[in-house]
């Protein structure tokens, strides 16, 4: 692809990214108001899922090609990038107060699940072997946590 065409596609993609991110935030706020839940809950569930779908697609594609290192690197790199870079830039632009439920509920859950993933990766069937059962268990925990968030804050 010629450089001029690549630059054009890059510019178009960036504009579409900005527009779609605004639409995502507006839609998420409308859903939160409709369901009468906090913006935090919508951010921890719907927005998190929506922004992670491209990562899921690339991870599944990497696993289907047998590129397991790429899949794990994508997931870990994305988590580190979101936790450190995205949060860092956001609060550098606009300092914020962290609600107590993030510190006492969500950060504890995130830490516990990170530890659980570490145990799964180094534990049951030898280092680096994660089986369907462990994946299903992690997925079930996410579903339960999301359900807890929604049901505990409705109304």
Same domain as 106, residue 87: no
pLDDT at 128: 67
Residue 50 to residue 138: CA distance in whole angstroms: 18
Task: Name 141's Cβ contacts closer than 8 Å, sequence gap at least 6.
Answer: 113, 116
Give pLDDT tens digits along the chain (155 positions). 889 999 999 999 889 988 888 888 888 888 888 878 787 888 887 788 877 888 888 888 888 888 878 877 887 788 788 888 888 898 899 998 888 888 888 888 888 888 887 787 776 666 667 788 888 988 899 889 888 887 877 65
Same domain as 108, residue 67: no
* Whole-prediction pTM: 0.68
pLDDT at 93: 93
pLDDT at 154: 66
Query: Which of 80, 96, 112 is the C-terminal boundary of a domain?
Result: 96
Three-state helix/strand/coil letters over 77-114: HHHHHHHHHHHHHHHHHCCCCCCHHHHHHHHHHHHHHH
Domain that holds residue 88: 1-96
Same domain as 133, residue 89: no
pLDDT at 7: 93
Same domain as 1, residue 68: yes
Same domain as 103, residue 86: no
């Amino acid at each position: 692809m010629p450089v001029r065409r690549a630059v054009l596609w890059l510019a178009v993609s960036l504009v579409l990214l900005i527009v779609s991110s605004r639409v995502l935030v507006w839609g998420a706020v409308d859903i939160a108001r409709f369901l009468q839940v906090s913006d935090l809950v919508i951010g921890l569930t719907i927005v998190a899922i929506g922004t992670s779908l491209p990562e899921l697609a690339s991870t599944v594609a990497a696993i289907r090609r047998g590129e397991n290192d790429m899949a794990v690197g994508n997931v870990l790199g994305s988590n580190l990038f979101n936790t450190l870079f995205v949060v860092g830039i956001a609060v550098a632009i606009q300092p914020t107060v962290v609600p107590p439920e993030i510190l006492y509920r969500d950060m504890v859950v995130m830490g516990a699940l990170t530890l659980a993933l570490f145990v799964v990766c180094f534990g049951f069937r030898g280092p680096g072997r994660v089986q369907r059962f462990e994946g299903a268990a992690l997925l079930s925990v996410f579903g339960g946590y999301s359900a807890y968030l929604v049901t505990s804050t409705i109304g």
